[in-house]
Amino acid sequence: MKRIKTVCPYCGCGCSYFLSVNDGKIAGVSPNKNHIISRGKLCIKGWQSAEFIDRPDRLTTPLIREGEGFREAGWDEALSLIADELSYCREKFGPDSIGIFSSAKCSNEENYLLQKFARAVIYTNNVDHCARLCHASTVAGLARAFGSGAMTNSIPDIAESDIIFIIGSNPGENHPLVASRIIQAVRERGAGIILADPRGIDLMPFVNVHMAQRPGTDVALINAMMHVILEEGLEDREFINSRTEGIEALEEKLKEYTPERAEPVTGVPADDIRKSARLYAGAGNACIIYAMGITQHSTGTDNVLSLANLAMLCGHIGKPGTGVNPLRGQNNVQGACDMGALPDVFPGYQKVDDPGTRKKFEEAWGRRLPETPGMTVIEMMNGVLTNDIRGMYFMGENPAVSDPDISHVIEALKALEFLAVQDIFLSETARFANVVLPAASYAEKMGTFTNTDRRVQVFYPAVEPPGEAKADWKIICEISSRMGYAMKYNSPAEIMEEIASLTPSYGGMSYDRLGPDGLQWPCTGREHPGTPILHTTKFTHGRGKFHAIDYLPPAEEPDEEYPFSLTTGRILFQFHTGTMTRRTPILEREYPEPYVEINPQDAEKLGVRNGWKVGVETRRGRIELNAAFKPEIKQGTIFIPFHFSEAAANRLTNPALDPVAGIPEYKACAAKVVRL
């Protein structure tokens, strides 16, 4: 029996464990007792993270469409077909007629190569990935406020907080090893918890104040908290004067945001707003933890900027137990962003339209590079239906379940002239492809993932890929070479050397330095120890910038025809589009089918009983699923997990976009519930 160290492929916590291998097969999982994040613990998904690897429906050979189905093909035929079709689109319709979707499930090295392929081989900046759909507003908002769009602190120092403000996040279900740190702070330090969420969450027994705001009213709520802090003189003037700018405009704006004005907008009693403001401002160390309940709005960037305002107003940043801490939803969504799998930046968030930056990459890659930022995920899908996008290449992405307004996405996928998908299973999206390539899973290759607190860790291959499947980085290199640009690397470690040479924040990263717990960026040189806490003495761009933000309502609010506010999210036993968890028997047994959470009082008015089948409709579609009573959910709000393709929540969600980050509004749209 061998034990191979790896990193969990699910959420962004970055837990480490060992895969036990016997006779070339994975026999089980055992925790890494010495790991800084997981500390010998795993959530239920971590314990089951090897179950999908040897499922009988793994892709094992390339597939080429033939009629309504697929036929098996050799690698040479499949790769040549992809190279020929992409070359044809590039030459006939121009480079920007091609769209590339990178992946938060794949390694840093693979994301780096795919964005390099898009820019140096295709000559387009049309490269994006699912961060556009989850934390694009985090990157945009925190970069504006602090100069760096990432979690400011580390998971371990959450345990040093005196007050933890959780807003738009459910750590107990979505980031369990973060939840364990929160509970540690409560039990060991007597820390308090402020929760702002339309739903009750697993941590409710530890919560001091629960502000159940209406979906999409976060700016009004946070502004009202800051109004109280300024009104009662609870702000940190020394921090504001020495380390920030722009407070005057914010102070003027906040005068109108009294708790009494916020109460009818948010549905949160004014007294609860005041109590929360006093707890947060009065703490020695207070941290903010948020996730997609904040970011997935048409005002997502405004929400993030408001949280940054709150932290700076009280000086709760740059110290242990403080900070603004977005929890990333997937194992490498932070790394995919860091690697430049975004339409406007090279690796390390270096702007593609900056001549000096572009020259640096042109010299390194030996190719002229495109100057204009490319299309986002949503824009590329829309571009298919306007004939601006003719061909697409997806690596480990499943937009037929994950994107908003799925009917529109499927229409686009059907209309594409050419689609290539590389994945480990024949996903809902892969079924529309012209060519499908079998990729290796995390357990069958080497690479690095960057977790939610900027920690870069190495994972190692435990078993061989099934059949003819290959690591994603090898596939990219082979297609690139067929298109006239030789990518020759002997290992992912060699790719990381190139990343470090071009990306200042990863400048000191190398496989021989990452060690048992990895390194946190920025790590700028070979002797640099990494950076557990950002902004300790100054912000990335000098002074922190306050922004005076006005409340704007959601793009679509409830009305007589659609009286409910629908919000979506994840649950503990399933993950993302279900590609892995729904092939894991124990997880599928716990939650095998979709449901809609509804307050029992709302259900009584509709004449609906717990467990009954209901229809949920919005202006974009209708699905049928079971009603699940949840007293903790705010009246007038319903919640649907988005993992289930047979009743896909994203048939209903609103594709309205944040104008800055381009993120869709998954977390608030008008809906109705119909008794069947």
208-43-579 Cα angle (round to 5): 115
Q: pLDDT digits over 508-540, tens only?
A: 999 999 999 999 999 999 999 999 999 999 998
Q: What is the pLDDT of residue 517?
A: 94
Looking at the predicted structure, is the pLDDT value of residue 562 above 90?
Answer: yes
Q: What is the pLDDT of residue 214?
A: 96
Q: What is the pLDDT of residue 93?
A: 97
Strands in 146-278 per DSSP E: 163-167, 192-196, 209-211, 244-245
Q: What is the pLDDT of residue 345?
A: 97
Looking at the predicted structure, is the pLDDT value of residue 404 above 90?
Answer: no
Confidence band, pLDDT 50/70/90 cuts, at residue 541: confident
Q: What is the pLDDT of residue 397?
A: 92
Q: pLDDT digits over 10-23, tens only?
A: 999 999 999 999 99
Segments of the chain assigned to CATH 3.40.228.10: 145-326
Looking at the predicted structure, is the pLDDT value of residue 673 above 90?
Answer: yes
Which tokens in the block code for residue 603?
């259900």
pLDDT, mean of residues 495-502: 98
Is there a contact between 457 and 511 (Cβ–Cβ < 8 Å)? no
Q: Which residue is listed with tokens 């690479």?
A: 447
Best CA proximity match to 175, nearest among 401, 6, 4, 8: 8
Q: pLDDT digits over 123-139, tens only?
A: 999 999 988 888 899 99
Best CA proximity match to 621, nearest among 646, 652, 650: 652
User: Percent of the chain scored above 90 by pLDDT?
Assistant: 96
Looking at the predicted structure, is the pLDDT value of residue 456 above 90?
Answer: yes
> Residues 526, 531, 536, 539: is their CA dihedral positive or negative?
positive
Q: What is the pLDDT of residue 665?
A: 94
DSSP reduced 3-state for 566: strand
d(CA 321, CA 29): 31
DSSP per-residue string spanning 248-275: HHHHHHHTT--HHHHHHHH---HHHHHH
Confidence band, pLDDT 50/70/90 cuts, at residue 99: very high
Q: What is the pLDDT of residue 574?
A: 94
DSSP per-residue string spanning 311-360: HHHHT--SSTT-SEEE--SSTTHHHHHHTT-BTTEETTTEETT-HHHHHH
pLDDT, mean of residues 231-246: 97
Give pTM, 2 decimals: 0.96
Best CA proximity match to 238, nearest among 142, 312, 330, 325: 312
Q: What is the pLDDT of residue 403?
A: 85
Q: What is the pLDDT of residue 346?
A: 98
DSSP 119: I
Q: What is the pLDDT of residue 538?
A: 94
pLDDT, mean of residues 623-639: 95
Confidence band, pLDDT 50/70/90 cuts, at residue 641: very high
d(CA 583, CA 284): 46
Q: pLDDT digits over 418-443, tens only?
A: 999 999 999 999 999 999 999 999 99
Could you tell me which residues come within 8 angstroms of residue 469 by beta carbon, excluding any fewer than 6 positions away? 58, 59, 60, 424, 438, 439, 440, 444
Class of domain 74-134+331-487: alpha beta
Q: What is the pLDDT of residue 133?
A: 84
Q: pLDDT digits over 642-652, tens only?
A: 899 899 999 99
Is there a contact between 353 and 359 (Cβ–Cβ < 8 Å)? no
Looking at the predicted structure, is the pLDDT value of residue 330 above 90?
Answer: yes
Segments of the chain assigned to CATH 2.40.40.20: 564-675
Q: What is the pLDDT of residue 115?
A: 98
Q: Residue 301 is which amino acid?
A: T
Which fold, 145-326? Answer: Dimethylsulfoxide Reductase; domain 2 (3.40.228)
| Domain 564-675: assigned CATH number | 2.40.40.20
Q: What's the mean per-residue pLDDT of the chain? A: 96
For residue 178, the Cα-to-chain-centroid distance in whole angstroms is: 16
Strands 418-423 and 435-438: parallel
Looking at the predicted structure, is the pLDDT value of residue 453 above 90?
Answer: yes
Q: What is the pLDDT of residue 134?
A: 85
DSSP per-residue string spanning 487-553: ---SSHHHHHHHHHHH-GGGTT--HHHHTTT-EESP--STT----SSS-SSSBTTBSEE--------
Peptide bond into 205 cis (omega under 30): no
Segments of the chain assigned to CATH 3.40.50.740: 74-134+331-487
**What's the length of the chain?**
676
